[in-house]
Amino acid sequence: MSLFEDQHNFAEVILPVPLPKSFCYSIPLGTDVELAVGHRVLVEFGNRKMYTGVVSEIHQKRPEKYDPKPILEVLEVDPSVTEMQIKLWKWVAEYYMCTIGEVLNIALPSGLKLSSQSYIQLHPSFIVEENLEMLNDKEFTLLSTLEKEQTVAYSQVSNIIQLKSPYKTIKDLIAKEAILLIEQIKEKYKPKMEKRLRLTEQYAEHPEVLDKLFESLGKKAKQGDALLKYLTLVPVHEDHMTNYHGVSKKEFINVGKELSASSVGTMTKNKIFEEFERQIPRFELSIADRMLPTPELSAAQNECLQKTVTGLNDKGVCLLHGVTGSGKTEVYLKLIKSVIENGSQALFMIPEIALTSQLVRRLKVYFGDVLGIYHSKFSDNERVETWKGVQEGQFQVIIGTRSSLFLPFSDLELIVVDEEHDSSYKANDPAPRYQGRDVALVLAHFHHAKVVLGSATPSLESFYLAVKQKYAYAGLTERYGNAQLPEIKIIDIKAMRKQKKMKDDFSDELLQLVHKTTEEGNQAILFQNRRGYSPYVSCETCGWVPSCPDCAVNLTYHIYRNELRCHYCGHKEHVPKTCVSCGGTSLKTVGLGTQKVEEGLKTFLTDIRVGRLDLDTTRRKHSYEQILTDFEQGHIDVLVGTQMVTKGLDFNNVRVVGILNADSLIFFPDFRAHERAFQLLTQVSGRAGRRGDAGTVILQTTMPKETLFAKVARHDYRNFYRKEIQERQQYHYPPFTRLIKLTIRSEKQELTRDSAEWLGKRLINWLGAKRILGPQEPVINKIRNYYLSEIMIKLERENFDLKKAKNYIHHAILNLKEEKPFKRVWVSIDVDPN
Residue 329 near ligand ADP by CB under 6 A: yes
Q: What's the CA gap between 812 and 742, in Å, rounded?
A: 11
Q: What's the CA gap between 545 and 241, in Å, rounded?
A: 67
Q: Are 530 and 594 in contact (CB under 8 A)?
A: yes
Binding positions for ligand ADP, 751-770, rule CB under 6 A? none
- CA 292 from centre of chain: 29
| Angle, helix 100-107 to helix 83-95, in steps of 10 degrees | 120
Residue 325 near ligand ADP by CB under 6 A: yes
Q: Which is nearer to ligand ADP, 558 or 690 (CB)?
A: 690
In the complex, what is the shortest distance from the CB of residue 568 to Zn ion, in angstroms, rounded to a whole number?
5
Residue 480 near ligand ADP by CB under 6 A: yes
Residues 6+ apart with CB under 8 A from 510: 491, 658, 698, 700
Q: Judge residue 730's burial from the number of C-beta atoms within 10 Å of its C-beta, 0-12 exposed, 13-18 middle, 19 or more buried.
A: exposed
In the complex, what is the shortest distance from the CB of residue 463 to ligand ADP, in angstroms, rounded to a whole number?
17
582 marked as binding residue: yes
Residue 301 near ligand ADP by CB under 6 A: yes
Q: Which is nearer to ligand ADP, 1 or 288 (CB)?
A: 288
Q: List contacts with Zn ion (CB under 5 A).
A: 539, 541-542, 544, 548, 550-551, 566, 568-569, 571, 579, 581-582, 584
The conformation of residue 554, written as its DSSP 8-state character, comes to B
Q: Which is nearer to ligand ADP, 118 or 652 (CB)?
A: 652
Q: Which does 328 bind (CB under 5 to 8 A by kind): ligand ADP, Zn ion, none?
A: ligand ADP
Q: What's the CA gap between 457 and 324, in Å, rounded?
A: 9
Q: Which does 551 bind (CB under 5 to 8 A by kind): ligand ADP, Zn ion, none?
A: Zn ion
Q: Which does 569 bind (CB under 5 to 8 A by kind): ligand ADP, Zn ion, none?
A: Zn ion
Q: Which is nearer to ligand ADP, 325 or 535 (CB)?
A: 325
Residues 6+ apart with CB under 8 A from 567: 531, 532, 553, 556
Q: What's the CA gap between 138 and 694, in Å, rounded?
A: 74
Q: Which stretch binds ligand ADP (CB under 6 A): 296-304, 546-554, 616-624, 702-710?
A: 296-304
24 marked as binding residue: no
Q: Which does 295 bind (CB under 5 to 8 A by kind): Zn ion, ligand ADP, none?
A: ligand ADP
Residue 598 near ligand ADP by CB under 6 A: no
Radius of gyration (C-alpha) of the chain in whole angstroms: 31
In the complex, what is the shortest distance from the CB of residue 298 to ligand ADP, in angstroms, rounded to a whole number?
5
569 marked as binding residue: yes
Q: Which is nearer to ligand ADP, 64 or 296 (CB)?
A: 296
Q: Which is nearer to Zn ion, 544 or 786 (CB)?
A: 544
| Angle, helix 221-232 to helix 210-217, in steps of 10 degrees | 140
Pairing of strands 506-507, 638-641: unpaired
Q: Which does 599 bind (CB under 5 to 8 A by kind): Zn ion, ligand ADP, none?
A: none
Q: What's the CA gap between 735 and 721, in Å, rounded?
A: 12
Q: Which is nearer to ligand ADP, 327 or 372 (CB)?
A: 327
The conformation of residue 480, written as its DSSP 8-state character, comes to S
In the complex, what is the shortest distance from the CB of residue 642 to ligand ADP, in angstroms, rounded to a whole number?
20
Starting at the edge strand found earlier in the chain, the sheet holding 654-659 runs 487-492, 696-701, 654-659, 523-527, 638-641, 610-613
Q: Which stretch binds ligand ADP (CB under 6 A): 56-64, 177-185, 293-301, 422-430?
A: 293-301
**Of the candidates 328, 388, 711, 762, which one interacts with ligand ADP according to CB under 6 A?**
328
Q: Are 24 and 63 in contact (CB under 8 A)?
A: yes
Q: What's the CA gap between 481 and 670, in Å, rounded?
A: 38
Q: Which does 505 bind (CB under 5 to 8 A by kind): Zn ion, ligand ADP, none?
A: none
Q: Are 705 and 785 in contact (CB under 8 A)?
A: no
548 marked as binding residue: yes
**Of the candidates 163, 180, 255, 297, which one interacts with ligand ADP according to CB under 6 A?**
297
**Of the candidates 145, 326, 403, 642, which one interacts with ligand ADP according to CB under 6 A?**
326
551 marked as binding residue: yes
- CA 461 from centre of chain: 23
Q: Which does 322 bind (CB under 5 to 8 A by kind): Zn ion, ligand ADP, none?
A: ligand ADP
In the complex, what is the shortest distance from the CB of residue 651 to ligand ADP, in angstroms, rounded to a whole number?
9
Q: Which does 4 bind (CB under 5 to 8 A by kind): ligand ADP, Zn ion, none?
A: none
Q: What's the CA gap between 552 and 543, in Å, rounded?
A: 17
Binding positions for ligand ADP, 638-657, rule CB under 6 A? 650
Residue 682 near ligand ADP by CB under 6 A: no
Beta-ladder partners of 584: none
**Of the candidates 38, 224, 246, 322, which one interacts with ligand ADP according to CB under 6 A?**
322
Between the alpha carbon of residue 522 and those of residues 515, 518, 599, 611, 644, the distances in Å are 10, 5, 20, 14, 20
Q: What's the CA gap between 818 and 157, in Å, rounded?
A: 44
566 marked as binding residue: yes
Q: Which is nearer to ligand ADP, 611 or 648 (CB)?
A: 648
Closest CA to 103 of 434, 380, 383: 434
- CA 151 from centre of chain: 36
Number of residues binding to ligand ADP, judged by CB under 6 A: 16
Between the alpha carbon of residue 719 and those of residues 419, 714, 722, the distances in Å are 20, 10, 5
| Angle, helix 673-685 to helix 717-730, in steps of 10 degrees | 170
In the complex, what is the shortest distance from the CB of residue 294 to ligand ADP, in angstroms, rounded to a whole number?
9
Residue 695 near ligand ADP by CB under 6 A: no
Please give the annotated binding residues for Zn(2+), written as ranges.
539, 542, 548, 551, 566, 569, 579, 582
Residues of this chain that interact with ligand ADP (CB under 6 A) are: 295-298, 301, 322, 324-330, 480, 650, 690
Please give the annotated binding residues, written as ranges.
539, 542, 548, 551, 566, 569, 579, 582
